[in-house]
Every structure is written in structure tokens, then in C-alpha cells.
Amino acid sequence: MVSDAVAWRRHLHRHPELSFREHETARFVRETLASFGGLEIQTPTATSVVARLRGARPGRALALRADLDALPIHEASGEEFASEREGVMHACGHDGHTAMLLAVARLLAARRRDLAGEVRFVFQHAEEQPPGGASELVAAGAVDGVDAVIGCHLLSTLELGRIAVRDGCCTAGADTFAVTIQGRGGHAAFPHETVDPVLASAVAITSLQQVVSRNSPPLDSVVVSVTRVFGGTADNVIPNEVELRGTVRTFNPDVRDRTIAAMRRIFDGVSAAHGASHEFQYTKGYDPVINDPALAAIIREVAGPERIIEMDPLMAGDDFCTYLQIAPGCFFFVGAGDSSAFPHHHPEFRIDERALSIGIETLTASALRFLA
């Protein structure tokens, strides 16, 4: 079983697909699921797959979720099964998540006559790109009638053999913003004749650090990161405008609202001080993932105290939160750290594939425990 999961994962790793484009990935998942027998296979969207396993007796319904999509990153991992698609890479472990859930589906399908209730295997597209694939699956009724949802995430920065879970807030709300600072361009040798949006943007970027250090209470967690800057066409030309883009991460709705207000004040003030103008767009993305304590207790029970660690909330975001509008859920992390420990979304990201067996075991045991 584990060798098959490794082979599935490597196949998916060689052939990554971006969000909303996972056509080959979804076809591979459908064909693999069909080979197990006993599953009702559905395609709620063009690039997602849901398989229903109905037990021999009535009971509760549990959804298990994995994500399918990759990232627009050029792979530099050096793995022999590295991506064959230029500029696209499974740099977050979704290939492993899909392989693990395929293995769980095969294991549980073989035990269908012993099961009470239903297990729904949700292979979701587009986790990496808000508004995310989960919202489309919820709208399509893919998780209607389920009593609980469980998902897991491989974590390269967590020691192999460990499983991290917590009650309550697990991951952060993940928003994005874009601001275009508009000035008056001109010759770089005569800056006094321009309104320099590059300078205004630089001041705005440094001023945004005050949102965390001076506008948020010390015990409230918030991240404001400018991640992209666009502007200029030549070394001797001051451009007309510069665009800044980035992300905001929070755990609390009030903190999110205060952060948005502080950002507006900063952009208003910086623009006014430099004689510029601006357009500010803020897009609320994924909400925080809030784990149900009873489901988290199941993860702790089946994993065992020797593996479990109580984690701090992560500033990462995940649209697993969307399923929690339908049913209680739990999102946990499986240690997949190797000697490199490159972080997620890094060109050299790798996982220790021995983590797959731990994830398979924990998901399978959690499903059996919940249905029991």
C-alpha cells in the first residue's frame, strides 16, 4: 500500500497542474479510484473528484479532503521525479495529500462490509488560489449531509513521525491587497519636476510595518507583507505609477478590520504627503480554520501520545475553512521534515516520503474511529 502511495505521489509530482487547471490530475484520481471498486465516483466540477463509500449499515457520514493543485514555481529540488512542467511545481505537498487519500480510499473500500455510515473522499481543486475550490464544491453539494470533515497537511518543517493538532484556531485568515500609487513621471535627472511614485511606494512599504508594531495590540497576531512591486520601464525614467501587492494574515475578525483601517490611513497619508494619489483594493480571502475539539481528540487518540504535539496556530491559510460552514471539522499536520527542511512554497521544497504511511494510518484510523 505504501509503495503504491509513493508511486502515485511521484507521478503527480512529475505532472503538476495549477489551480483550476487540474484536468490530468483529476483524471488520474478518477481512474485510480475506479480501479478499487465499491466507490461512487462523481465530478462536481471540471477538475475535482468526490468518491462516496457507503457502508453496509446506516450511520454517520464523514468527509476526508485532499487538495490537487500545484504552484507557479520552477522546481530546483533535485529529485529524480521532479516536475516535467516548466514553471509549475508541487511545492506544498498536495501531491502527497492526494496519494494518501487514494490509499485511504482503497483501504476503507476493502472494508466496506464492516462499515456503518459513509466516507466521502473529497479531492479538491484550487486550494492555492482564492476564492478556492472548496467554495465551488460546497455550492455543488459535494459535502451535503456530512457530519464532520477531516483533512491533513504534510509539513516539511515538522519532524518526521510527529503529528500536530490543536483545538480551536488552527490556521489564519488569509487576505490579499493591491494598491496603485499614482504620481507624475518624468526624467530621472529632474526629479523635482515629477511626483515620484517610487519614493512614495518605498515610504508606504516601510510605513506598513507600523500596522503590526504600532497599530495592533502586542498579543494580537497579524502579518502584513508586501510581496510584489511593479513599476518603471527604464533606468532614467521616473514612472507615472507603481503597484504594490501583498497579503494580510489574522486570526480575529476585529484585528482584520483594524488592520484594513490602518492600511487605508497609511496609504492616504503617504499619498497626500507626496502629492500623489492612489487606488487601494483589499480582498478578504480564506477565514481561519477552527478545529472542533471532539474531532481533534479523535486525532490525538488514534495517533497516540508518542506522536502528538500540541501546535501553535499557523499564519498559513487554507480554504478547508469553507467546509466548516457545513459541518464541524479538524485539520491536522503530519511531520514530513527531511534534512533540508526547506519551507513550503520554496523551489527546493521536499518531503520525507516515509510520512505518507503515517498520514494514511492516521486518516484511516480516524475514519474508523468516527464511524464507530
Angle at 325 between CA 371 and CA 97, to 5 degrees: 60
Region 123-149 average pLDDT: 96
Region 43-50 average pLDDT: 97
Please confirm, yes or no, whether 348 is among the known catalytic residues. Answer: no
At residue 264, the pLDDT reads 97
Tens-place pLDDT, residues 79-102: 999 999 999 999 999 999 999 999
Domain boundary among 239, 267, 285: 285
pLDDT at 334 over 70: yes
pLDDT at 2 over 70: yes
Region 131-138 average pLDDT: 96
Look up the domain containing 276 and give its range: 173-285
Angle at 258 between CA 257 and CA 261, to 5 degrees: 90
C-alpha–C-alpha distance, residues 152 and 174, integer Å? 18
The percentage of residues in the chain with a pLDDT greater than 90, rounded to a whole number, is: 94
- Read off the C-alpha cell for 169: 484556531
The percentage of residues in the chain with a pLDDT greater than 70, rounded to a whole number, is: 99
Tens-place pLDDT, residues 146-201: 999 999 999 999 999 999 999 999 999 999 999 999 999 999 999 999 999 999 99
Domain boundary among 255, 285, 315: 285
The reply to whether 177 and 209 lie within a common domain is yes
Nearest to 90 by CA among 107, 74, 111: 74
At residue 220, the pLDDT reads 84
Tens-place pLDDT, residues 246-257: 999 999 999 999
What Rg, from alpha-carbon coordinates, does the chain have?
A: 23
The reply to whether 239 and 259 lie within a common domain is yes
The reply to whether 48 and 138 lie within a common domain is yes
Q: Which of 75, 127, 287, 292 is catalytic?
A: 127
Tens-place pLDDT, residues 266-313: 999 999 999 999 999 999 999 999 999 999 999 999 999 999 998 899
Q: How far is CA 209 from CA 41, 112, 249, 313, 316, in A?
A: 49, 55, 13, 22, 19
323 and 362 Cβ atoms separated by less than 8 Å: no
The reply to whether 14 and 161 lie within a common domain is yes
Q: Give the other-Cβ count within 10 Å of 294's Cβ.
A: 12
The reply to whether 177 and 311 lie within a common domain is no
The reply to whether 201 and 216 lie within a common domain is yes
pLDDT at 219 over 80: no
C-alpha–C-alpha distance, residues 119 and 364, integer Å? 10
Tens-place pLDDT, residues 266-277: 999 999 999 999
Please confirm, yes or no, whether 338 is among the known catalytic residues. Answer: no
At residue 284, the pLDDT reads 94
C-alpha–C-alpha distance, residues 185 and 195, integer Å? 7
Region 309-335 average pLDDT: 95
**Plot region of 278 (φ>0 → left; ψ -120 to 50 → alpha; else → beta):** beta
The reply to whether 347 and 246 lie within a common domain is no
The reply to whether 39 and 105 lie within a common domain is yes
The reply to whether 18 and 80 lie within a common domain is yes
155 and 333 Cβ atoms separated by less than 8 Å: yes
In the chain, how many domains are there? 2
At residue 340, the pLDDT reads 66
- Read off the C-alpha cell for 135: 467554495
At residue 310, the pLDDT reads 87
CATH code for the domain of 33: 3.40.630.10
Region 31-49 average pLDDT: 97
Lowest mean pLDDT among 19-28, 97-106, 124-133, 217-226: 217-226
At residue 339, the pLDDT reads 63
CATH code for the domain of 194: 3.30.70.360
Q: Which of 22, 67, 69, 175 is catalytic?
A: 69
The reply to whether 136 and 233 lie within a common domain is no
The reply to whether 152 and 206 lie within a common domain is no
Strand 148-159 to 57-67 pairing: parallel
Question: Which carries the bigger pLDDT value, residue 89 or residue 213?
Answer: 89
Angle at 324 between CA 319 and CA 327, to 5 degrees: 145
Q: How far is CA 110 from CA 22, 39, 61, 113, 358, in A?
A: 28, 10, 18, 8, 19
Domain boundary among 285, 318, 339: 285
The reply to whether 223 and 262 lie within a common domain is yes
Output the 3-class SS for the chain. CHHHHHHHHHHHHHCCCCCCCCHHHHHHHHHHHHHHCCCEEECCCCCCEEEEEECCEEEEEEEEEEECCCECCCCCCCCCCCCCCCCCECCCCHHHHHHHHHHHHHHHHCCHHHCEEEEEEEEECCCCCCCCHHHHHHHCCCCCCCCEEEEEEEEEEEECCCEEECCEEEECEEEEEEEEEECECEECCCHHHCECHHHHHHHHHHHHHHHHHCCCCCCCCEEEEEEEEEECCCCCEECCEEEEEEEEEECCHHHHHHHHHHHHHHHHHHHHHHCCEEEEEEEEEECCEEECHHHHHHHHHHHCCCCEEECCCECCCCHHHHHHHCCCEEEEEEEEECCCCCCCCCCCCCCCCCHHHHHHHHHHHHHHHHHC
Region 2-17 average pLDDT: 96
C-alpha–C-alpha distance, residues 364 and 356, integer Å? 12
- Read off the C-alpha cell for 89: 511545481
Q: pLDDT category, 217, cuts 50, 70, 90?
A: confident
